[in-house]
Amino acid sequence: MPTDAIKLTVLVVDDTPENLTVLGELLQPRYRVRVANSGRRALQVAASKPRPDLILLDVMMPEMDGYAVINELRANPGTRDIPVIFVTAMDADEDEERGLELGAVDYITKPIRPAVVLARVKAHMELKQARDWLNDKNVWLESEIARRMRDNQLMQDVSIRALASLAEARDMETGQHIRRTQAYIEVLVAHLRTHPRFSGYFTDATAHMVAKAAPLHDIGKVGIPDSILLKPGRLSADEFEIMKTHSSIGGDAIDLAMRDEISDEDFLILQKHRHMGSNALASAIREFESAPLAFLAVAKEIALWHHEKWDGSGYPDGLVGDAIPIPARLMALADVFDALASRRVYKEAMPFEKAVQIITEGSGKHFDPDVVDAFLANEDIFQEILVRYADSDEALDIKLGTLHARGLA
C-alpha cells in the first residue's frame, strides 16, 4: 500500500453529503481524497495545493452545475489539464454526449457501482500519470536541446572569435577593429531589414548569420607574407596584387571547411550561384538556412567579396552592383569607414566628418547607394561605436611592439 506522501489526489464534488461520504470511503484506502459540496468550492479546491490529479464531478448542483464547473476548469491554465469524470443520475445519451463534448474524460451514472468507480478512476489516474511523465520528459528534452544549442552557439562564437583573432594577430589591426565592424554591420542590418530591396533577404536567421560572420572578413590575411602584410609604407604594384589575394584565400579556406561538411551535390548548389547576383545566391543560402552550412556560406561571401565595388572596379571578381552579395556590400562600407575613422599603429584617425564625406562620395561608385543611405541615417550610432570600441594607447603599443619584435617596424 503506498504511503500518504505518494498517494494521488482525487477531488470529489457533490452537493449531497451522503454521496461525498460514500465516494470518500470508497477511494480513501487508495488515494488522497479532497471534497467540495458546491461548484464554486470545487473551483477553489482545484486551484489550491495539493492539486487534484482527478476530479469526480456531480452534474446536478444548485447555483453552479457541473457543466459550468468544467467550463471554468478548462478556462483556467492551472486546472485545464485535470481529468474530469462526471458522476450523475442523468443517464440519457445526450447528457453523456454533452459532458464529453465539454471535455470530461468519462461518465459514471448513479447509483454508483464501487468496482466500476475504482476501475475507471484507476484507468484515468494511470493515463494522467503517463501524460505527466511525457510532459515532464518533453520539458526536460526541450531544456536539454536549448542548453546544447547555447553550448553550440558559444563554441561557434568562440571559434569565430579565435579565427578572427588569428588574422588580427598577423596584421596591424587590433581586436577592437573586429568589434567595431561587427557592430557597424548590426546597425546596417537593423536599418535595411525593412527596406524594399533587402527585406526579402533578411530573415531573422540570415540577419543573425551576417552579423556573426562579420569578424571573419579578413581571415584570408593569414596567407599573406609578413613582409607585405605588415609593411608600414605604401605597397608596390606587385605587393598590392599579392595583398589582394587575401580575399580569395579567405573564401577558399571557408570553401574547404564547407566541403568537409557538405555533399558534393549540395556544395554545387551554392557554387553555381556564385556569379548570378545576390538574389539567386540568397535563394541558394536559404536552402541551408537551418544548418551551420548557411553560416559558412555567408562567411564566405563576406571574406571573398568585401573588396568588391558597386561600379565593378573591386576585386577579386570585379562584380558589379547587385551581383555583389548583400553581406559583402555591408562589410565593404563598414571596413572602409573603420579604416578611415579609427587610429592605427602608423596613422591617426581621420576626422569623423571627413570619413563621412568620403563614404558619401563613394555612393554609387564604391558602395551600394542604399547602404550609404543606411549609414547616413545612423551616423550618430556609428560615431558612438567608434568611441565605445576605440583602440587604447596600450593596445596600439602592444601591436607596435609586436611589429618591432618581428623586425617590421
- Residues 133 and 58 reside in one and the same domain: yes
- Residues 378 and 267 reside in one and the same domain: yes
- Report the DSSP pairing between strands 54-58 and 32-36: unpaired
Q: Which residue range is the domain that position 337 belongs to?
A: 174-405
- Residues 115 and 210 reside in one and the same domain: no
Cβ-contact 301, 349 below 8 angstroms: no
Give the domain CATH number at 90: 3.40.50.2300
pLDDT value, residue 237: 93
Residue 149 inside a domain? The answer is no
* Domain C-terminal end among 93, 118, 140: 140
Statement: residue 403 has pLDDT above 80: no
Residue 145 inside a domain? The answer is no
Report the largest interatomic distance among the alpha carbons of the chain, rounded to a whole angstrom: 104
Residue 54 inside a domain? The answer is yes
- Residues 209 and 91 reside in one and the same domain: no
- What are the grid coordinates assigned to 359, written together? 563614404
**At residue 324, what are phi and psi to the nearest 5 degrees?**
-80, 125
- Residues 123 and 184 reside in one and the same domain: no
pLDDT value, residue 294: 79
Give the domain CATH number at 397: 1.10.3210.10
**CA of 233: how far to CAs of 29, 171, 179, in Å?**
92, 14, 26
Residue 313 inside a domain? The answer is yes
Residue 257 inside a domain? The answer is yes
pLDDT, mean over the chain: 84
pLDDT value, residue 105: 92
Strand arrangement, sheet containing 106-109: 32-36, 9-13, 54-58, 84-88, 106-109
The pLDDT tens digits for 238-270 are: 999 999 999 999 998 888 877 765 556 655 555
For range 396-402, the mean pLDDT: 56
**pLDDT band with cut points at 50, 70 and 90 for residue 364:** very high
Statement: residue 399 has pLDDT above 80: no
Residue 354 inside a domain? The answer is yes
- Residues 234 and 313 reside in one and the same domain: yes
Statement: residue 70 has pLDDT above 90: yes
- Residues 326 and 196 reside in one and the same domain: yes
- Residues 110 and 47 reside in one and the same domain: yes
- Residues 183 and 123 reside in one and the same domain: no
Say which residue, 164 or 388, is predicted with more confidence.
Answer: 388
- Residues 97 and 214 reside in one and the same domain: no
DSSP-assigned states of every residue in 311-336 = TS--SSS---GGGS-HHHHHHHHHHH
For range 190-208, the mean pLDDT: 92
CA-based end-to-end distance of the chain:
85
Overall number of domains in the chain: 2
Cβ-contact 304, 248 below 8 angstroms: yes
- Residues 99 and 179 reside in one and the same domain: no
Comparing CA positions, the residue from 298, 277, 279 lying closest to residue 207 is 298
pLDDT value, residue 159: 65
